[in-house]
Chain A
Amino acid sequence: MRLRALSDNDAPLVTQLFADERITKWLLDAIAQPFTLEDAKAFIFFARGKGSTGRDFAIEANGTFAGILTLHYGEDVYAHTAQIGYAVLPQLQGQGIATRAIQCAVSFAREKRGLQRVYANVLSENAASRRALGKAGFAHEATLHCGAKKAGRLQDLCVYAQVFVEESEEA
């Protein structure tokens, strides 16, 4: 398992991922339906051009594309934080791929970016994603009542986070 940059060759599997209702029902509406091969190419193009706002990675398992993981960097009073989002192809779920991808992303945020908090907003009904976050060492910090509107329905949103405290600041 590793995280790598997205490549043009990923476009067919990115299309499969983001055209699948079992995946998109948990994602932002920004991943608009129907999602075509052209949309996947545009997604990959923009992912490469992302500057300081964040990073989109391909999740690779056993040498093949398994999903996407996104880090979105905060600004202002949130400048020390990143929000994490991810999706794993349905046929590859249940193998712990998301958990390991989340752990890789946390190491990247902490070591390469010097961030002090990584968090995820998850619909409360998304049990698989919540389990992956728990296994990756995230704590459930908050439940936002009616925090999101998805598929025309108000839903509770759970906030999970992993934080790092600088040893020197503790003293």
Chain B
Amino acid sequence: MNVTLRRFEPEDAKKVVQYLEDQEVFRYLSDNLPYPYSLQRGQQFVEAAQENFPLDCAIVVDGEFAGTIGLMEKNDVYRCNMEIGYWLGRKYWNRGVITEAIRQMCNVAFGQEGITRVYAVVFAENLSSAKALERNGFLLEGRHRNGLIKYGVVHDALIYGLTWSDWAARKRG
């Protein structure tokens, strides 16, 4: 299985909408995304993501669009951080795809000027997301009680962080 990241292409929009028709994919994403997700919205998303390469990337598995991964810039005293976020179409789950995508995206993040920490906010129930971060050396830094709300239900959030020095030490092996 070959996992690569690339700039979004207009044709990805159809696949984005198709994968986001799945409530299970939606479950741990932003609470602002409308359901069902329209093609027009998918096209707007893809256009913006294209502009934002390499901070927004399409995940490609064996030549096929599989999902998305992105880095969010932070400001003020948080400017040394980037927040990582991602989703995968359900048929690509449980195959190590997101672990590999996170690995490649950390190279992108730490290649940006002044970035010394990458972190993720994970729904506490989302065990596969937490595992993928741990496999990349992210440390569980804490649990935010009532940290997230989705569909009116409050969940705890896990905060995972990877510092530049830990990342560099891992790369050296």
Chain A interface residues toward B at CB < 8 A: 28-30, 75-81, 116-117, 119, 139, 141-150, 154, 159, 161, 163-165, 169
Contacts and interface: CB of A to CB of B under 8 A. Distances in A.
B145 interface: yes
B144 A119 contact: yes
Interface in B83-132: 114, 116-117, 119
B145 A77 contact: no
B31 interface: yes
B67 interface: no
Contact of A145 (B30, B146, B161): B161
A142 B77 contact: no
Label chain A's interface by main secondary structure: strand
B113 to A, nearest CB: 13
Interface residues of B, number: 29
B147 interface: yes
A78 B149 contact: yes
B142 interface: yes
Do most interface residues of chain B lie in helix, strand or loop, or is the interface mixed? Answer: strand
Contacts of B144: 117, 119, 141-142, 159, 161
Contacts of A169: 154
B80 interface: yes
Interface in B126-173: 139, 141-150, 154, 159, 161, 163-164
Contacts of A29: 76-77
B141 A143 contact: yes
B79 interface: yes
B146 A81 contact: yes
A78 B148 contact: yes
Contacts of B2: none
B81 A147 contact: yes
B142 A154 contact: no
A77 B116 CA distance: 25
Interface string B59-92: 0000000000000000011111100000000000
Given A143-B141, A150-B77, A154-B116, A76 B146 contact: no
A32 to B, nearest CB: 11
12 contacts: A28-B77, A29-B76, A76-B31, A77-B148, A78-B148, A116-B154, A141-B143, A141-B145, A142-B141, A149-B77, A149-B114, A161-B145
Contacts of A116: 146, 149, 154
Nearest to B30: A76
A27 to B, nearest CB: 9
Contacts of B141: 142-145
A132 to B, nearest CB: 20
A29 B78 CA distance: 10
A169 B152 CA distance: 11
A80 B146 contact: yes
Nearest to B79: A149
A164 B150 CA distance: 17
A30 B79 CA distance: 12
Given A29-B76, A148-B77, A81 B139 contact: no
Closest 8 CB pairs of A and B: A142-B142, A117-B146, A148-B77, A163-B146, A149-B80, A80-B149, A163-B145, A77-B148
